[in-house]
Amino acid sequence: MRDESKPAYLDQLIAKLHDGTAVIGIIGLGYVGLPLTLRYSEAGFRVLGIDIDSAKVEKLNRGESYIENIPANSICAARSVGFQATTDFARACEADALIICVPTPLNPYREPDLSFVLGTVDALLSFIRPGQLVSLESTTYPGTTEEELRPRLESRGFVVGRDVFLVFSPEREDPGNPDFETRTIPKICGGSTAACLEAGVALYESAIDRVVPVTSTRAAELTKLLENIHRAVNIGLVNEMKIIADKMEIDIHEVIRAAATKPFGFTAYYPGPGLGGHCIPIDPFYLTWKARQYGVHTRFIELAGEINSEMPHWVVGKVTDALNQRKRSVMGSRILVLGISYKKDVEDMRESPSVELMELLRDKGAHVDYSDPHVPVFPRMREHYFDLSSIPLTPESLASYDLVLLATSHSAFDYEMIRDHANLIVDTRGVYLECLPHIVKA
Mind listing the pLDDT tens digit for each residue in 1-53? 444 567 889 999 999 999 999 999 999 999 999 999 999 999 999 999 999 99
Q: What are phi and psi of 48, to 5 degrees?
A: -110, 115
> What's the pTM?
0.92
Compute the distance between CA of residue 298 and CA of residue 358 in angstroms, rounded to an integer. Answer: 31
* Number of folded domains that form the chain: 2
Structural domain ending residue among the three candidates 215, 240, 258: 215
Compute the distance between CA of residue 179 and CA of residue 163 in angstroms, rounded to an integer. Answer: 39
The pLDDT of residue 2 is: 45
Compute the distance between CA of residue 169 and CA of residue 32 in angstroms, rounded to an integer. Answer: 12
**Cβ 311 vs Cβ 273: under 8 Å:** yes
Write out the residue range of the structural domain in which residue 352 sits: 231-441
Q: Are residues 356 and 316 in the same domain?
A: yes
The pLDDT of residue 394 is: 97
Q: Are residues 207 and 72 in the same domain?
A: yes
The pLDDT of residue 279 is: 76
Strand 165-168 and strand 187-191: the pairing is antiparallel
The pLDDT of residue 179 is: 85
Residue 92's contacts (CB-CB under 8 Å, 6 or more residues apart) are 25, 27, 48, 50, 98, 124, 127, 128
Domain containing 405 — which CATH number?
3.40.50.720
Q: State the DSSP code for 392.
A: P
10 Å Cβ neighbour count for 91? 15
Residue 303 lies in a domain: yes
The pLDDT of residue 276 is: 82
Compute the distance between CA of residue 168 and CA of residue 134 in angstroms, rounded to an integer. Answer: 9
Compute the distance between CA of residue 393 and CA of residue 370 in angstroms, rounded to an integer. Answer: 10
Give the residue among 267, 253, 276 at the shortest CA–CA distance from 442: 253
Give the residue among 220, 236, 342, 219 at the shortest CA–CA distance from 298: 236
The pLDDT of residue 435 is: 84
Compute the distance between CA of residue 72 and CA of residue 271 in angstroms, rounded to an integer. Answer: 35
Query: 377 pairs with which residues across the strands?
Result: 389
pLDDT tens string 186-224? 999 999 999 999 999 999 999 999 999 999 999 999 999
Ranges of the chain with pLDDT below 70: 1-5
10 Å Cβ neighbour count for 391? 17
Q: Are residues 274 and 390 in the same domain?
A: yes
Taking the mean position of all CA atoms in its chain, how far away is CA 96?
27
List the catalytic residues: 279
Residue 224 lies in a domain: no
Cα dihedral 337, 339, 342, 344 in deg (nearest 10): -150
Q: Are residues 188 and 299 in the same domain?
A: no
Give the residue among 189, 142, 105 at the shortest CA–CA distance from 288: 142
Query: 46 pairs with which residues across the strands?
Result: 23
Q: Are residues 242 and 273 in the same domain?
A: yes
3-state SS assignment for residue 63: coil
Taking the mean position of all CA atoms in its chain, how far away is CA 5?
39
Q: Are residues 201 and 245 in the same domain?
A: no
The pLDDT of residue 5 is: 61
Q: Which helix (H) or strand (E) holds 256?
A: helix 252-259
